[in-house]
Amino acid sequence: MASSSKPAASSGSKKDQLYDRCAEAPPDTVFYQRDLADMQVADDSASLMMLIQQLVDAHMLQVMTWEGQVCYKLRSRDEAAKLKSMTPDERLIFSHIESSGTAGIWTKTIKAKTGVTQTIMTKCLKQLESKALIKAINNVKFPTRKMYMLAHLMPSEDVVGGPWHQDGELDVDLIEALSNIVVRFIERESWVEQKQRGPSKVAIAKRKAYVLSSTNDIEAEPPLFKPPLGPHKLPLIPHPSSHRHYPTCASILAYIRASGVVDTSVALQEQDLQVLLDNLVFDGKIERMGALGYRSVRGAVDREGVGEEGDGNGLSQAPCGRCPVFSLCGEGGPVNAKSCVYFTEWLRTG
Amino acid sequence: MSQYLVELCTLLIDDLYGELSSQVFSTIARLGRQPLAGLVRHSNLSARHLKHGLVVLIQQHLALHYTSELDGVTYYEANWQHAYNLVRSGKIIKFVEDRFGEKAGGIISNLLLLGHTKVSDLSDAYGVANKKANSGAELKHVNGNGISNGNGLTNGNALTNGDGLANGVDEAHDASKTESHIDSRGQLHSLLYQLLHSGWIVPVREPHFWPQAEHNNEAEVFVISTHFEGKVPKGPKKVAEFARLVKERKRKTRDESLEIPQMNGITGSKRYGSSAVQPSKRIKINGTGFARTNGYSDADHLQDEIQLDLKQGDLVVRVNHEKCNVASRTEQLTRLAARYVGETTSKVYEALLRVLEEQTPRCYDEFADNDQEDPDIVDASPLVTAQAVAEAIDPNIDLTDGLQEDSNHVNRVNGNASAEIEENDQGLSGHSLEDVNKRRRLVDQHIRLLSEDPRHFTHWVSSRGMSQWKVDFPRLAQVLIQTEIEDTVTARHERMGTRLIRILHSKGKLDEKQVSNFSMTPPKTIRSTLTGMQEAGFVETQEVPKDTSRQPSRTMYLWFYDQQRCRQLLLTDTYKAMARILQRIKVERAKVQTVIDKAERTDVVGHEEQYLSKMERQALRDWSQTEEKLLIQLGRQDDLVATLRDFIGPLNS
Ligand code: SF4
């Protein structure tokens, strides 16, 4: 029925072209409009928007938003077909279950969110269950609640007593050890060591000519921030902007599991790892790249012992910025700039 | 006006214009808007002294005044913005030198020295009294430069430093003077033209000397008489309309007062607007001094016209500090990009931001019509293409540095060899088309990195000119502010402090248990950090009673972080720290004052070896090092003030 609404054969093939181009990217890639524009399938943005809409209507693209920008994720043709075969009510309910992830969703919540009647919901849930798209789960906290989640997902461990706790206390050592492993893994995956490039002959010649012809010495300027070095002592540089393989919670978890760094007795789930990743973001060690990916903050892995503090700013470097009696200090007061020993000390040292 | 800001401004004025001026300034700053009689009554200065002081302050734009038409009484008010800006003199000169060359920097330093000036007087200063004006300016220039980066404070210069206005010519100054020497009136006018059109200097008109209150009065009276038939508007709808119209009127008045005379159609605010494609092109052509596009002859013609205008000499001009804030923002954002992305990419960013500067008269417009909900109003933020950046960027920058070969992209867009970067290395000789194309593509890739960074330094708009971008300045200003707060917190409360602040910033009010969960740290570990930051004012708590008993044990404490409050706190602290540095400089100078005096004697200058003892020379060297160190720190603190105060709307408090 969907095919009958296609206006013309040629535009249908364009739609497929766009889909195929997207499919060339690794799974779970998130596309922004400009990525799709770069594929140069559509002639202008109006027709691109039309193609996107067609794909969305056919459930082949999933619409998401990230920081206010619309972005898209590809669905497999199988999945799209399944979605297409659903009734609108089923699809609505399915989408809510899908977005609840590994936490699952209570039937009462579904009803409140969708506003469908009890009978319709029961029917839909049954249908979806029979197609093996969703499954019923038990919640330990609320054993009386009837809950559903996507069939292929593992229900998450309840946060209380999760893998981060040992005898009811936070397992600080485990958290710390795993944090280090994760940050190093993310750095390896999100930055590249710049290839050693002897400066090309032309560049040297050019520079020489420049120095001779000018009194300004450009070479004298050191970089504002020393570039962090990778494991081979070469500067780390970002991936090109087309890079889409930034580690995700799922891929980091897969790495941890495969590497065997944690005891198998620690049943680490995606949502546990998510807590750790959030914490690392707060700690300024890693940062979000798009909706799913992570990148390590430049210099998060400290190989040269630069120290934790960093440069500070004009205030924190100055004696007054660290002064214990700052609030008492003033001209004519008990402490003042004239007699200040902190200044004397600061001026004396380097 | 905070107590510490008054203290700081007074110190700055004292340094440059002497004790009387600074006393008068602190009096009017303390008393607020007052007529002369009020000033006399509330201070222990005589009317004669006050008048003397006010003349200097007004010439330097450090005091505002307004004579009421009703009773003919003149009211005075301190202009703390300009007083504070004294600390930036060196920076402004450097910004202008970087963009327009040394001679333009010289003009700026003269203008800073003279306050607002008639163009004809400026010409005279260069022509007739060249020597005098210039040497004075150079001295201040050296002094100012030191404030920003310590340049020129070394060697002999330091001997005369500090008391710049009073004296002396030494070799270093003579040398630099020749470099910024301006040969002809024509050259002066053409530089003035560039500076006027890029907004670094602006015309001065009567309203510029009015206090804010007068601008407000004028606008309100005007709007009431033109739109509300002379009646004060009532009712929420009318009041809102009134507020909007007053803002609009203020904006109009300001834009008109900044218009360059007799240049109808391409001047004033219009030249910055998105519609003013032509003028901005002209500015660019002249700004870089190259005839790049075919609009050149046109611009040439335009220039003649303005020069005619300038030759009449009646125009009064001054340095525009709002433009300095724009350049400052460029510098801070470039720094941020260098820190989080990479050095070369940050240079591309700097070039991009400088292209945008041409279309940006100020960082934020306090009179902007920002509560427009009209969907027909398009976002007017200026756009920039990768092409324009590639043309503007220093050709000596190796753009392949810091960039991974993006085979994907190259293949897709151009369909040709991916090994292009290496290949082209051999053929960099001229400005071949290929070379230009390659640079454009590399620039584009750097800009893409910037947009992909979580801070989103740029935003993609379209594919025009390789690619077209804009920059979300208000959001980035917030990022800069937050970064400064975090850096300060890290220095005082370790990484943990910053982590907790980020958690509270993103999650809102939390109790200790929740903070502990998010930070994955036991409550007892975070408690001391939280209380420490509370004492310092970075975080606050709110008491929430669990029931009506109001017992402490039945009360929850929620922690929260208020960015705006921290911004204010840090700003005040920085003012205070800056005042301490200036006070310390005085103290340090006093210690060697006798030697400085001796070194500045005319018979000693140039014969230091002969007349100064070894110890005296050592003392001078030490002093110059000390001063340099203190001035560098002062400059960095001013950077912090710029970030906290000048890039985005005013603090509400
Ligand atoms: S001058 Fe000295 S005592 Fe006063 S705030 Fe600064 S460091 Fe502290």
At residue B25, the pLDDT reads 92
* Residues of A in Cβ contact (< 8 Å) with B491: 309, 312-313, 316-317, 321-322
Confidence band of B248 (pLDDT split at 50, 70, 90): confident
> For residue A320, how far is its CA from the centre of ligand 1 (angstroms)?
5
At residue B376, the pLDDT reads 52
At residue A203, the pLDDT reads 54
The residue among B642, B474, B504 whose CA lies nearest residue B571 is: B642
Mutate to test the interface with B, among A33, A166, A195, A282 (most CBs of B within 10 A): A282
Helix runs in A286-329, H state only: 314-317
For residues B351 and B373, membership in a common domain is answered with: yes
- Closest ligand 1 atom to residue A346 Cα is 7
Sort strands A236-238 and A191-193 into parallel, antiparallel or unpaired.
Answer: antiparallel
Q: Write the pLDDT tens digit of every residue in A55-81.
A: 888 888 888 877 778 888 888 888 788
For residues B530 and B573, membership in a common domain is answered with: no
Q: Is residue B652 part of a domain?
A: no
For residues B517 and B435, membership in a common domain is answered with: no
Q: Say how far apart CA B560 and CA B509 lie, in whole Å.
A: 5
Compute how many other C-beta atoms are within 10 angstroms of the C-beta atom of residue B1: 12
Strand partners, A238: A191
Q: Do B488 and A316 touch (CB under 8 A)?
A: yes
Into how many domains does chain B fold?
6
Whole-number average pLDDT of chain B: 77
Q: Is residue B37 part of a domain?
A: yes
For residues B182 and B76, membership in a common domain is answered with: no
- Tell me what the mean pLDDT of segment A317-325 comes to: 87
Q: Write the pLDDT tens digit of every residue in B596-640.
A: 888 888 787 777 777 888 888 888 899 999 999 999 999 999 999
- Tell me what the mean pLDDT of segment B283-310 comes to: 44
Cα of B483 to nearest chain A Cα, Å: 10
- Tell me what the mean pLDDT of segment B408-421 comes to: 40
At residue B433, the pLDDT reads 72
The proportion of chain A whose per-residue pLDDT surpasses 90, expressed as a percent, equals 11
Q: Which residue has better confidence, B595 or B206?
A: B595
Cβ-contact B389, B352 below 8 angstroms: yes
Q: Which residue has better confidence, B476 or A305?
A: B476
Cα of A153 to nearest chain B Cα, Å: 25
Which of B537, B561, B585 is a domain's end point?
Answer: B561
Q: Which residue has better confidence, A345 or B181?
A: A345
Q: Is residue B651 part of a domain?
A: no
Cβ-contact B52, B22 below 8 angstroms: no
Cβ-contact A71, A25 below 8 angstroms: no
Compute how many other C-beta atoms are within 10 angstroms of the C-beta atom of residue B44: 8
Whole-number average pLDDT of chain A: 78
At residue B3, the pLDDT reads 85
pLDDT tops 70 at residue B468: yes
Q: Is residue B653 part of a domain?
A: no
Which of B471, B500, B526 is a domain's end point?
Answer: B471
For residues B67 and B92, membership in a common domain is answered with: no
For residues B196 and B213, membership in a common domain is answered with: no
- Tell me what the mean pLDDT of segment B34-48 comes to: 87
pLDDT tops 90 at residue A248: yes
Q: Which of B60-74, B394-408, B429-443, B569-583 has the highest mean pLDDT?
A: B569-583
At residue A206, the pLDDT reads 55
Q: Give ligand 1 pocket residues (Cβ under 6 A).
A: A 319-320, 323, 325-326, 329, 335, 337, 340, 342-343; B 580
For residues B341 and B422, membership in a common domain is answered with: yes
pLDDT tops 90 at residue B539: yes
For residues B347 and B390, membership in a common domain is answered with: yes
Question: Residue whose CA is closest, atom 6 of ligand 1?
Answer: A320
Q: Is residue B64 part of a domain?
A: yes
Q: Is residue B583 part of a domain?
A: yes
For residues B190 and B282, membership in a common domain is answered with: yes
Residues 6+ apart with CB under 8 A from B95: B324, B327, B328
Which of A335, A344, A349 gets mutated to test ligand 1 (max ligand atoms within 8 A of its CB)?
Answer: A335
Q: Which of A85-89, B122-126, B276-280, B560-564 has the highest mean pLDDT?
A: B560-564
At residue B418, the pLDDT reads 37
For residues B361 and B293, membership in a common domain is answered with: no
Q: Write the pLDDT tens digit of every residue in B331-340.
A: 999 999 999 9
At residue B545, the pLDDT reads 81
Q: Write the pLDDT tens digit of every residue in B346-373.
A: 999 999 999 999 888 888 877 776 555 5
* Residues of B in Cβ contact (< 8 Å) with A347: 588, 626, 629-630
Q: Write the pLDDT tens digit of every residue in B399-408.
A: 888 887 655 4
Which of B320, B335, B366 is a domain's end point?
Answer: B320
At residue A146, the pLDDT reads 80
> For residue B603, how far is its CA from the centre of ligand 1 (angstroms)?
40
- Closest ligand 1 atom to residue B580 Cα is 1
Backbone angles phi, psi at A257, to 5 degrees: -65, -45
> For residue A316, how far is its CA from the centre of ligand 1 (angstroms)?
12
Domains annotated on chain A, with CATH = 14-81 (1.10.10.10), 86-160 (1.10.10.10), 172-349 (no CATH)
Residue B192 belongs to domain spanning: 86-207+261-320
For residues B76 and B95, membership in a common domain is answered with: no
Lowest mean pLDDT among B224-233, B408-417, B589-598: B408-417
- Closest ligand 1 atom to residue A319 Cα is 7
Q: Which amino acid is at A100?
A: S
pLDDT tops 90 at residue A183: yes
Q: Chain A residue with minimal CA distance to B409?
A: A242
pLDDT tops 70 at residue B307: no
Lowest mean pLDDT among A140-144, A166-170, A190-194, B347-351: A140-144
Lowest mean pLDDT among A211-215, A282-286, A305-309, B154-158: B154-158
At residue A251, the pLDDT reads 92
Cβ-contact A129, A135 below 8 angstroms: yes
At residue B263, the pLDDT reads 42
Q: Is residue B572 part of a domain?
A: yes
Q: Is residue B175 part of a domain?
A: yes
Cα distances (angstroms) measured from residue A221 to each of A204, A216, B350, B593: 17, 11, 15, 35
Q: Which CATH number fits the domain that encloses residue B50?
A: 1.10.10.10
Helix runs in B341-472, H state only: 343-357, 386-392, 407-414, 420-425, 433-452
For residues B8 and B98, membership in a common domain is answered with: no
Q: Which of A303-317, B168-182, B437-451 has the highest mean pLDDT?
A: B437-451
Q: Write the pLDDT tens digit of every residue in B482-494.
A: 999 999 999 888 8
Measured in Å, how far apart are chain B's first and last C-alpha atoms?
10
Cα of B490 to nearest chain A Cα, Å: 7
Q: Do A240 and B340 touch (CB under 8 A)?
A: no
Q: Which residue has better confidence, B325 or B373?
A: B325
Q: Write the pLDDT tens digit of every residue in B129-151.
A: 344 334 333 333 333 333 333 33
